[in-house]
């Protein structure tokens, strides 16, 4: 069986030809529809991810995120979160690959780098939650953390809300100062500020930090607008949280993956509180979110292999439309299936 391999140049060409906006819009629409189907019980939830944690001088995690559509395909993402990557290796904090297997035979159908599509799908999930829970006239976006994920958060949220300015805060001044250049394609005003000022002025806020486990929160429980909506996206390993407990206590909280929220998300801080409704249930019944638009709300987002599966569908669909991707015989197909050494040339 031939495997489609999407190389960096293929993903770059998809971004260039289709355009970032069109790809993000498709992701938002397809993910919303997918979550709605999940909320109606038409699709199955992904299992919680598993993997390995590293301590010592090179901390981080390597995780495995599978999703299966019975009789059709399995998507498997292997993702690494390594906060010291840029300083030590000049690599992104998040690196990984995503593969697609035929569910009946187990054969490898497609393979690609996961960095761009993971960043975009995370932003798209925040956009879906914000479109449901933020005020529709939200104009000020605050970002706590100015790394790679902050770019796709700003991009995605600007596609669903009338954002006019972005307030950005980061513990690394260079990251904060360079952010305006990285999002210049949005044509929005960007101001660097402290976390307290960002929280106080924001209609919508996303936390996208590499704070180590046990060292949160990354923003104060200070003054805020009564209708603030928060997308908490950085709590992606045990012990890592970003939001102050008093803010969580006051908030309506939904989760993108109920099976992961207590182990990795902000709900780690709320052991005695019932788990909030799923984002899928809100997508299936949008009117259930309406009552929370004018009050404090939080998306507790830990990342979902279900979302990865849909995002990979989008990427592969655009690749097919443009005729991109190299076919290669990666899987072994011996001439005699009973003899593993009988590989053809």
The pairing of strands 326-328 and 3-6 is antiparallel
What's the Cα-to-Cα distance from 164 to each of 175, 190, 203, rounded to whole Å? 21, 9, 11
- Contact partners, residue 90, CB within 8 Å, separation at least 6: none
End-to-end Cα separation, the chain, in angstroms: 15
- Contact partners, residue 282, CB within 8 Å, separation at least 6: 39, 129, 132, 133, 254, 288, 289
Three-state DSSP state, 28: helix
Do the beta carbons of residue 255 and residue 39 sit within 8 Å?
no
Question: Token pair 């030809």 is at which residue?
Answer: 17
Neighbour tally for 25: CB within 10 Å:
16
Q: Is 10 a catalytic residue?
A: no
Strand residues in 233-323 grouped as ranges (E): 252-255, 297-300
Angle (CA) 319-321-325 rounded to 5° is: 30
Strand residues in 32-179 grouped as ranges (E): 50-54, 60-69, 73-81, 94-102, 108-113, 140-144, 165-169
Q: CA-to-CA distance for 125 and 149, rounded, in angstroms?
A: 12
Q: CA-to-CA distance for 191 and 306, rounded, in angstroms?
A: 35
Helix crossing, 173-182 with 148-160: angle to 10°? 40
Do the beta carbons of residue 254 and residue 232 sit within 8 Å?
no
Q: CA-to-CA distance for 82 and 80, rounded, in angstroms?
A: 6
Q: Which of 10, 203, 236, 313 is catalytic?
A: 236
Would you name the residues annotated as active-site residues? Answer: 236
């Amino acid at each position: 069986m031939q495997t489609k391999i999407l190389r960096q140049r293929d993903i770059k060409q998809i971004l260039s030809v289709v355009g970032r906006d069109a790809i993000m819009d498709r992701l938002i629409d397809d993910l919303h529809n997918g979550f709605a189907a999940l909320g109606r019980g038409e699709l199955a939830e992904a299992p919680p991810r598993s993997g390995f944690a590293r301590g010592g001088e090179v901390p981080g995690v390597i995780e495995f995120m599978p999703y299966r559509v019975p009789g059709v395909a399995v998507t498997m993402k292997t993702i690494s979160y390594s906060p010291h990557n840029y300083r030590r290796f000049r690599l992104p904090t998040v690196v990984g690959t995503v593969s697609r297997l035929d569910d009946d035979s187990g054969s490898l159908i497609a393979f690609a780098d996961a960095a761009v599509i993971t960043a975009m799908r995370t932003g798209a999930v925040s956009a879906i939650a914000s479109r449901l829970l933020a005020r529709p006239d939200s104009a000020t976006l605050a970002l706590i953390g100015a790394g790679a994920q902050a770019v796709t958060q700003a991009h995605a949220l600007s596609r669903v809300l009338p954002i006019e300015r972005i307030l950005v805060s980061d513990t690394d001044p260079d990251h904060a100062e360079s952010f305006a250049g990285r999002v210049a394609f949005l044509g929005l005003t960007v101001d660097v500020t402290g976390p307290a000022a960002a929280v106080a002025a924001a209609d919508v806020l996303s936390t996208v930090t590499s704070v180590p486990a046990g060292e949160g929160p990354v923003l104060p429980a200070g003054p805020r607008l009564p209708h603030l909506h928060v997308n908490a996206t950085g709590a992606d390993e045990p012990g890592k949280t970003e939001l102050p407990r008093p803010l969580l206590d006051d908030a309506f909280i939904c989760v993108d993956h109920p099976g992961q929220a207590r182990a990795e998300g902000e709900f780690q801080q709320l052991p005695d509180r019932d788990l909030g409704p799923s984002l899928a249930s809100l997508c299936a019944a949008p009117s259930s979110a309406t009552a929370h638009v004018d009050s404090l709300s939080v998306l507790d987002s830990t990342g979902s292999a279900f979302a990865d599966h849909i995002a990979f569908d989008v990427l592969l669909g655009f690749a097919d439309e443009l005729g991109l991707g190299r076919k290669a015989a990666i899987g072994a197909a011996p001439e005699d299936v009973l003899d593993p050494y009988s590989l053809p040339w």
